[in-house]
Amino acid sequence: MQIIDRVEINYFRSVYSISVKKLKELNVFIGPNDAGKSNILRALNLFFNNQSGYDEDLQFLMDVTHLRQDEARDAKGRLTIWIKVHFNNVEKWKTLPEKFFIKKTWNRYTDDPEVTSDVKNKQSLTRFQNKLNFHYIPAVKERDIFSDYLNLLYETLSERDDIGFSGPADALSAAVNSSILDLTDRIQVALAVKSNIQIPNDLESIFERLEFFTDQDSFRVPLSRRGDGLQVRHIPHILQYISNHNKKLNIWAYEEPENSLELSNAYLLANEFENEFSTSNQVFITSHSPAFYSLSSQRTKHFLVRKAVTQSGDRDNWITSLEDLENSEVADAELGVAQLIADRSKEAFAEIKRLKQKNAELAKITAPVVLTEGKTDASLFSAAWDKLYPNTAMPFQIKSCSLGGSEHGSENAGADELKKILESTTKDQNPTRIGIFDRDDKGLLCFDNLRKHNSFGVENDAKLNQNFRSGAVRLPELTWGSPYDKFVKDSMCIEMMFPYDVFPKKHLEFVFIMGGKKLAKEKGETWVAKLTESPDLFDDVPFRVVPKFGDKIALASSLASLDRTAFTEFKPVFGLITKLFQQMS
C-alpha cells in the first residue's frame, strides 16, 4: 500500500536535507554502517509519534543537525527541524485531494511541533491523521519490544467481539488462541514452530505477562526463553496481525529485520516482507543483508545511503546523502563484497527453495520411492520389474529425480540433482527414498561424495543415510560384451545392463576419444587395433571408447520390448534396493 508518496527531511541528526521520492510499498535503505540509514526511519518516527527513537523523546539540541547549528549561529537565524510528508489519498476520500502534504516543524522551545498542510478541510485532515498507525522497530530488539507488541496484540484482541476478557484464564487462553488462529498458523508455516498465547491466572497483570509459548520436543517453552532469532521472526507476524485488525492505515519502519537470523531465514523473511507484509502496509526497512538487497519486484524500491562531507567554516562535517539505487554497479563500489555475497546467496536460496519443492512433491507419495537420474531410466526400471516379477506388485514407486511432467519426458536431471535430493533428506522425511547412480564418472563421483550416507554393511554398491530415511545404490560393475569393453572405462549406465548381443544397434554409437579429443571412426579403429596388439602401451596412451545413445525415448521403448531374459542383471539391483528399504523400516 503506497500511503506515502514522498518524504522531505531537514536538519534531523545526520540528515541535513534529503527528499525520498517515488516511494513504493516496500522501501529498502542500503548502505554502510553509520551512514544515517536509521536516521531516516527515526525521522519518520518523529513525524508520526513525536519520538526521535524507540520510546525516546526528542532532545532538540542533540538531534538537530550540527551543520545547521553552525549556520544558524553565524546567520543568527532560527534553528528548527522540519519534516514534510506527502500522502496519497489511498482511501479516495472526497474531502481530501488526490495528493497532499503535512509538514511538522520543531524548535528548541516547545515539545510539540507546529503543523501545517495544504489541505483546507481541517476536520478531514484530523480524521486522516487519526487513521494513521506508525510502527517503529529499532535494530536492537530488546525484550521490551516483545512486551510492547504483545500489549498491542492484547489491545487489538480486546476490541474483538468474539472474546470476552473475563472468566478463568484457561478458557480465556482458548478463546484468544481461537481468535488468532490465522496468526499462529502463519507462524507455524513460516517458522516451523508451534506458538500459542498463554494468559496469566492473575488477569490484572495481563499487560505485563501476556506471553507466547512454543512447543519444543514434548515441552512448552516461553518464547522469551528461546533464541533471539526465533523471537525476531515472531515480531513481524504479530505486527501483521495487529495491522490487519486495527482498521488503520499502517506504516512500518523496521530496522535491520535480518538481525539474529542465519542467511536462509533472512531470505524467507525478505520474501515475506515483499510478498505479504507490504501488500497491506507501507514498509520502510534498513538492511545490510543480501536477502533484502536482492529483492527485485516492481513493488520494491532500493535507496543507497552514504556519507557526504561538507565544509562549515574551517571544519568538515559529514551528512547523510541519498540516491535511488537503480543498478548493482553503484552498490558494488559501495558495498564491495556484499554484492558478491548477494548473488551467490540468492542462488543458494533459490536452490534450497527448489529442493524443498521437490521434497514436497515426494511427500505426496505414500510408498517408498526409488529415484533415478533420468526419466527414461525410471521407465526401464519399471519395465524390468514387470518382466522379472509379473505377478508381484511393486513395493515402491520408481520416479526420475527431475519429477513432474511426463514419465517418459526428455528432461534428465542427472547425478548432481539426485545427490542434492538425497542429501536434503531429514530425519522425519516421508516417504523413504533410494537413489540409483550410473556407474560413469559423474555417477561414481556423486555416489562416493554423498554426504550423510555411510557404507551399507559389506555392500560396496550401497549406502544408507545416517537418519535411515534414504539410501543410494550404484549400478553393478558388468562386462557388457561389446568389442570395446576393455576401452570402456567406468561408463556403465542403465542401458548397458542389457546384453550387447540383443541390444538394438541402431540406437548405439561408439565415440573414440584420445587426450580429451574425439577421433574419427577410422583413426579410433586404428588405435583399437594397435592397443589390442600391444597391451603394454595402453597405460601410457590416454585412449578410451564411450558408448553414446541417440533417441533415448525410442531406445527405452525398444529395450522394454525385449524378452524377460534380457533383464537378468536387474535382479541383484532390485535385491539391494529391497535390503536397504528393509533396513529403513
Helix (H), strand (E) at residue 369: strand 369-372
Reported as half-sphere exposure (CB side, CA atoms, 13 A), residue 189 has a value of 8
Tell me, what's the pLDDT at 45?
A: 96
- Exposure string of 485-501, with b = 16+ CB inside 10 Å and e = fewer, is eebbeebbbbbbbbbee
Q: How far apart are CA 512 and CA 296, in angstroms?
A: 48
Write down the pLDDT at residue 119. 94
Q: How confident is the model at residue 405 (pLDDT cuts 50, 70, 90)?
A: very low
The confidence band for 51, taking pLDDT boundaries of 50, 70 and 90, is very high
Structural domain ending residue among the three candidates 306, 328, 351:
351
User: Tell me: the pLDDT tens digits for 407-460?
Assistant: 433 345 688 889 988 988 888 778 899 999 999 888 998 999 898 899 988 788
Same domain, 129 and 274: yes
* 243 or 235: which leads in pLDDT: 243
**Are 278 and 26 within 8 A, CB to CB?**
yes
- With pLDDT > 90 as the criterion, what percentage of the chain qualifies? 42
Same domain, residue pair 149 and 94: no
Which residues make Cβ contacts (< 8 Å) with residue 101, sequence separation at least 6? Answer: 84, 85, 86, 87, 117, 118
Same domain assignment for residues 380 and 468: yes
The mean pLDDT of 523-533, rounded to a whole number, is 89
Kindly state whether residues 339 and 363 are assigned to the same domain: no
Confidence of residue 4 (pLDDT cuts 50, 70, 90): very high
Residue-wise pLDDT tens digits, 171-194: 445 544 554 455 556 556 555 556
Per-residue DSSP letters for 194-219? Answer: -EEEE--SSGGGHHHH-EEEEEETTE
- Residue with grid cell 542429501, as numbered in its chain: 423
Q: Is the pLDDT of residue 496 over 50?
A: yes
Place 308 in a pLDDT band, splitting at 50, 70 and 90.
confident
What letter would DSSP give residue 326? -
Query: 248 lies in a domain?
Result: no
Q: What is the pLDDT of residue 201?
A: 44
- Which pLDDT belongs to residue 204? 38
63 lies in the same domain as 123:
yes
241 CB contacts (<8 Å, ≥6 apart)?
153, 156, 180, 182, 183
Count how many domains the chain has: 4
Give residue 276's identity as a one-letter amino acid code.
Answer: E
Q: Which domain holds residue 281?
A: 4-139+256-351
Does 26 score more than 70 pLDDT? yes
CATH classification of the domain holding 23 = 3.40.50.300
Higher pLDDT, 481 or 536: 481
Distances (CA, A) of 164 to 27, 175, 585: 39, 8, 50
Predicted local distance difference test score (pLDDT) of residue 42: 95
Over residues 356-384, mean pLDDT: 85
Residue 148: pLDDT band (50, 70, 90) is: confident
Residue 450 near residue 422 (C-beta atoms within 8 A): yes
Model confidence at 485, in pLDDT bands (50, 70, 90)? confident
pLDDT of res. 479: 87
Total residues found in the chain within this entry: 585
Strands (E), 429-488: 433-437, 453-456, 459-465, 470-474
- Mean of per-residue pLDDT scores for the chain: 81
162 vs 529, residue with greater confidence: 529
CB atoms within 10 A of CB 437: 26
182-196, 198-212, 270-284, 307-321: the lowest-pLDDT one: 198-212
Domain edge (last residue) among 351, 384, 417: 351
Regarding whether 127 and 262 lie in a shared domain, the answer is: yes
Q: If pLDDT is split at 50, 70 and 90, which confidence band does 167 have? A: very low
> Do 465 and 502 fall within a single domain?
no
In this predicted structure, the answer to whether residue 205 has a pLDDT above a threshold of 70 is no
250 within domain boundaries: no
Q: Is pLDDT above 80 for 578?
A: yes
- The residue among 207 and 277 whose pLDDT is bigger is 277
Per-residue pLDDT at 507: 92
**243-252, 323-332, 400-409, range with the lowest pLDDT:** 400-409
Q: Are residues 218 and 176 in the same domain?
A: yes
User: How far is 518 from 543, CA to CA, in rounded Å?
Assistant: 10
State the Cα–Cα distance between residues 180 and 175, nearest whole angstrom.
9
Residue 197 domain flag = yes
Give the pLDDT score at 427: 81
Q: How many CB atoms lie within 10 A of CB 337?
A: 8
Query: Distance between CA 146 and CA 166 in Å, rounded?
Result: 24
Of residues 363 and 162, more confidently modeled? 363
Say yes or no: 337 and 464 in one domain: no
DSSP for 432-445 reads -EEEEE-BSHHHHH
C-alpha cell at 393: 506388485
Q: Of 38-47, 140-149, 361-370, 441-450, which has the strongest mean pLDDT?
A: 38-47
* 222 vs 197: CA distance, rounded Å: 10
CA-wise closest residue to 14 among 313, 330, 306:
306
The Cα–Cα gap between 162 and 175 comes to 8
Of 259-268, 291-300, 564-573, highest mean pLDDT: 564-573
Mean pLDDT of 69-84: 79
241 lies in a domain?
no
pLDDT for the residue numbered 183: 54
151 vs 286: which has the higher pLDDT: 286
Mean pLDDT of all residues in 367-376:
91
Q: What is the dihedral of CA 216, 222, 226, 231, to 10 degrees?
A: 120
Provide the pLDDT for residue 433: 92
Range list of H helices, 52-142: 60-63, 66-75, 122-131
In a domain, 242, yes or no: no
pLDDT at 303 over 50: yes
Q: What does the pLDDT average to over 144-169?
A: 61
Close Cβ partners of 319 (under 8 Å, ≥ 6 residues apart): 14, 15, 16, 36, 65, 67, 307, 308, 309, 310
Nine cell digits for residue 201: 491466572
Q: Which of 318, 351, 384 finishes a domain?
A: 351
* Predicted pLDDT at 431: 85
* Residue percentage of the chain with pLDDT more than 70: 76
271 found inside a domain: yes
The answer to whether residues 403 and 283 belong to one domain is no
pLDDT of 398 higher than 60: yes
Contacts for 180 with CB less than 8 Å, ≥ 6 apart? 153, 157, 197, 241
d(CA 222, CA 214): 6
Instruction: Tell me if 421 is assigned to some domain.
Output: yes
| Mean pLDDT of the 497-511 span | 93
Domain match, 526 and 554 both: yes
Distance CA 318, CA 316 (A): 7
Residues 6+ apart with CB under 8 A from 212: 150, 195, 196, 197, 198, 222, 223, 234
Examine the domain organization and report whether 463 and 356 are in the same domain.
yes
CB 368 within 8 A of CB 395: yes
Instruction: Give the integer Cα–Cα distance in Å for 88 and 69.
Output: 33
Residue 20 within any structural domain of the chain: yes
CA dihedral 405, 407, 413, 419 (to 10 degrees): 110
Mean pLDDT of 532-545: 80
| DSSP element (H, E) containing 242 | helix 228-245
